[in-house]
Amino acid sequence: MISRRTQTRITRFHTWLYRRTGGRLGGRLGSMEQVLLTTTGRSSGQPRVTPLTGIPHGDDLLLVASDGGNPHHPQWYKNILVHDEVAIQRGREHLTMRARTATPEERAVLWPVVVGVYRGYAQYQERTDRQIPVVVCRPV
């Protein structure tokens, strides 16, 4: 496991590289599409950018609040629980979307979809007692 400090540095570099190249570099991790999610900080009100795997699903984009199977939800997920309007950068495309947690019924259908994209999500779920949320982002 890498330290939070190292993770922060990697995230900042990934974000810089993605923006600089319009997603040509940093836009894929293996076969997985990477997007930049911008949330509004729940306490600060400031924009917070996080590179994540984005999983297209019809008109929606799915995000997984796994945080590598850590025991707590990631900060970006806590932010969307307070401010559900988010910005997503997919390559050079910028989208305004509304983010929400999938209902238990939706999650039952969507979880196999996200695990089909990246099997690691199943391992992350085994590592933690919390149920890893699937976030559905819909264009505004």
How far is residue 122 from each of residues 13, 64, 105, 125, 132, measured CA to CA in Å?
27, 11, 18, 5, 10
E strands, 55-122, in order: 55-57, 60-64, 85-90, 93-101
Q: How far is CA 134 from the centre of its chain?
A: 9
Place 48 in a pLDDT band, splitting at 50, 70 and 90.
very high
The answer to which of 7-11, 79-83, 129-133 has the lowest mean pLDDT is 7-11
Domain ranges in the chain are 4-139
Report the pLDDT value the prediction gives residue 8, as an integer from 0 to 100.
87
Place 1 in a pLDDT band, splitting at 50, 70 and 90.
low
Report the topology of domain 4-139: Pnp Oxidase; Chain A (2.30.110)
Report the pLDDT value the prediction gives residue 118, as an integer from 0 to 100.
96
List, in order, residues 6 or more apart from 27 with CB less than 8 Å away. 18, 21, 33, 34, 91
Mean pLDDT over the full length of the chain: 95
Query: Alpha-carbon distance 121 to 127, whole Å?
Result: 10
Residue 131 pLDDT more than 70?
A: yes
